[in-house]
Structure 1
Amino acid sequence: MAHSWRYPPTLVYFLLCLPGVYSQAFDCKVSISGQNYDLAELYGEHTISRSRVTPPTTIVDTIRFDLCEDLVQLDGVAERDQCPAGTRACLTKTNQKANEPDRIVSVVPIAQTDILATEWSALTGDSKGISLILHGPSWPKEPSPGQHSHDQSLSVRVICPPNGGESQSPSLVSHQNGQWNIDWLHRVACPRDESNPGGGDENGTPAKSTGSGVGWFFLVLLLAFLTYFALGAYYNYNHYGATGWDLVPHRDFWRDVPFLIRDVVSHLCTTLRPRGSGSGRGGYVAV
């Protein structure tokens, strides 16, 4: 008798949504074709602005974004004039007119954590680096007649600076159908040699050394000597009531060490001293 396996609808929904759940937990660590990128240096809030002249006013588009964490709510700004909690990228449009206070006319969440679904891939062409796309909601939520909603997203190209150049601030490149495109020259996008971690990047920038093996050896040796003297002094004090120089463990040995060193040095000097040609008597030694 054949059995028909039926799964609860909630289980099917969970399995379908599972990849999306993982993609939302973006922690600024990316792996592409075995190459690992740690974008922790990009952590923090960044702001990009552009102005559009619309006489008699000017429209200023300002994007605040944080790739690694949610944006912090701004102090002193009304709740309706900023994006809701859980936003990674927020667009604010401000209308400016001479002799009048600035007026916020639009606030758009471009990327939100609950629907982030971060995508990443390697850049193609001459540029080296990675491409990130963070997703947001459809906007506007309730379009007016003749207006269309677009799924919002933030596309960031993190580019390795050519010729070992320095990192730069992000810049707004373009905007089309709800997708805001940003280019960011930063060294975190430069491929690293995974077989030589800590050996510097491909631009030849050496990694900072945390110490050498020889240094660690002498440090351990010093700690061993200090432990030896401390335990020896403690033993002599508790068992023999020693004080002063008598606390030194194996005191007689350490007292003779300078003489031992002198004898060793004298012996080495005598051994390594070049032999002369004698006193000119043909090699005969007087009896």
Structure 2
Amino acid sequence: MKPFPTWLTPATLTSLLLLTPTASTAATTPASPLADDSSSPLACDNIQVEGGHTYNLQALAGPHVVVTGEYTRPTYHNTTYAIDVCRALEREGEGEGCPGGTRVCAIKHRWNRKEDKMTGIDQVIPLVVGDDKAVTWQAKRLPADGEGKDDAPKDGKKEGLRLTLQSGATYQDRAQRAVVEFRCNPDLEGAEGEWESVDKYKPVKGEKARREDKDDEKKDDGKKDDGKKDDNKKDGDKVSDPSTPERQVKKDDAALVWGGYKRERDADGKELDTLYLTWYTKHVCDTAVDQPVKESESWGFFTWFVILVFLGIAAYLIFGSWLNYNRYGARGWDLLPHGDTLRDAPYLMKDLIRRALNTLQSTGSRGGYSAV
């Protein structure tokens, strides 16, 4: 029998065993773990990625929702997925929902198809909960299909940003996270084609006006949807509907697209649920990246205060001069109101300064006594 090599020590054997993949790890590909590359809090108006690029998603602030539908005999379900990349969601009114501070929330409703209304809530899943400091995030720039190649497809995916959000939120002992893939579309703001949801959230300042501009479009789409619902009901009366998997209920021009709510495994083999969303918007196009935020062009309080004081003094002097001229026929300095005081102002100021200097010089080493 040949002797063992001298380098084959117990420590070396342990290192080799740790580096060798096991059957379970080699056979499965775990979901990529969320590495917290950034120690700074999440700020939607200043998302920095490797390469020095900075993204500003402030225009997408406010609650945005996608609605999915599924049928598992004998129950229909509609699920509302709500997200706000800039702040916590705030529900309008009372009712069952995600706790305060939730950034991404899923609410699963039971739907009565015959009466066309929701009859209850089966699940409330807070996916991302916490303030800017509590949310772990990772951002990565996404290149366009064929970027840098001469034969790049013209109709391929454009450049974008992948934003992964995760907190300590769990559901049924499974960690939760959201992966949002922003893709460049120069023709979309990011709120187009959003489906009306039964779950209402408070919009941010300015977003309500933008949504009201699309009311006419929603009404027209609603009329078309009503026809589709009637057709579905007729089909359902004829044959028994088969079970259908979860899929998004969306309009043709939807900017926010549901990509799935999937159960995966992390690097440690633990189960976690991931919500995938694709968001088409012009705010992640290369032409919009690294653009400085436009400062407010309105004047501040101090500027307005100085202007008003100046105008007030000017009006007082002009009106007083006019009054003195018409009433007393005054000329020169006598035109100005309180002309004597204004004429003596330099001398009064000079005398005040002299007195102050004398007071400071007199408090020397005489102990309060004046020289004789």
TM-score in same-fold range (> 0.5): yes
Q: 1:46 to 1:119 in 2, by over 3 A?
A: same
Q: CA deviation at 1:88?
A: 0.5
Aligned to 2:110, the other structure's residue is in SS state: strand
1:18-52 CA-partner distances (Å, limit 9, x unpaired): x7994444344212333222211111111111101
Paired position in structure 2 for 1:139: 171
Aligned to 2:59, the other structure's residue is in SS state: helix
Q: 1:36 to 1:248 in 2, by over 3 A?
A: farther
Q: Is 1:173 matched up with 2:267?
A: no
Report the AA paired with residue 26 of structure 1.
A
Q: 1:122 to 1:25 in 2, by over 3 A?
A: closer
- Report the Cα distance in structure 1 between the residues aligned to 2:279 and 2:171, rounded to whole angstroms: 25
Paired position in structure 2 for 1:47: 65
Q: Is 1:113 matched up with 2:124?
A: no
Q: Is 1:26 matched up with 2:43?
A: yes
Q: CA deviation at 1:106?
A: 1.0
Paired position in structure 2 for 1:122: 141
- Unaligned 5+ segments in structure 1 are 1-18, 142-148, 199-206, 212-225, 250-287
Aligned length: 197
TM-score normalised by L of structure 2: 0.44
**8 Å Cα contact 1:94-1:102 kept in structure 2:** yes
Paired position in structure 1 for 2:180: 156
**8 Å Cα contact 1:47-1:63 kept in structure 2:** yes
Aligned to 2:136, the other structure's residue is in SS state: coil
1:83-140 CA-partner distances (Å, limit 9, x unpaired): 1111101111122244576221111111111642021111133321211111142321
What does residue range 1-287 of structure 1 map to in structure 2 within 5 Å?
Answer: 22-32=39-49, 33-77=51-95, 81-98=96-113, 102-113=119-130, 115-126=134-145, 127-136=158-167, 137-141=169-173, 149=174, 151-161=175-185, 164-167=186-189, 168=192, 169-177=255-263, 178-192=273-287, 233=318, 236=321, 241-243=324-326
Paired position in structure 2 for 1:284: none
**8 Å Cα contact 2:83-2:89 kept in structure 1:** yes
- Report the Cα distance in structure 2 between the residues aligned to 1:53 and 1:41, rounded to whole angstroms: 35
**8 Å Cα contact 2:38-2:137 kept in structure 1:** no
TM-score normalised by L of structure 1: 0.56
- Report the Cα distance in structure 2 between the residues aligned to 1:70 and 1:60, rounded to whole angstroms: 23
Identical aligned residues as a percent: 20
Q: 1:138 to 1:234 in 2, by over 3 A?
A: same
**8 Å Cα contact 1:233-1:248 kept in structure 2:** no
**8 Å Cα contact 1:233-1:247 kept in structure 2:** no
Paired position in structure 1 for 2:208: none
Report the AA paired with residue 155 of structure 1.
V
- Unaligned 5+ segments in structure 2 are 1-35, 146-157, 193-254, 264-272, 299-310, 333-372
Aligned to 1:242, the other structure's residue is in SS state: helix
Aligned to 2:144, the other structure's residue is in SS state: coil
How well do the aligned residues superpose, as a CA RMSD in angstroms? 4.0
Q: 1:173 to 1:188 in 2, by over 3 A?
A: same
- Report the Cα distance in structure 2 between the residues aligned to 1:195 and 1:43, rounded to whole angstroms: 18
- Report the Cα distance in structure 2 between the residues aligned to 1:133 and 1:159, rounded to whole angstroms: 14
- Report the Cα distance in structure 1 between the residues aligned to 2:37 and 2:330, rounded to whole angstroms: 69
**8 Å Cα contact 1:37-1:189 kept in structure 2:** yes
Report the AA paired with residue 257 of structure 2.
S
Q: 1:247 to 1:51 in 2, by over 3 A?
A: farther
Higher RCO structure (Cα 8 Å, ≥6 apart): 2
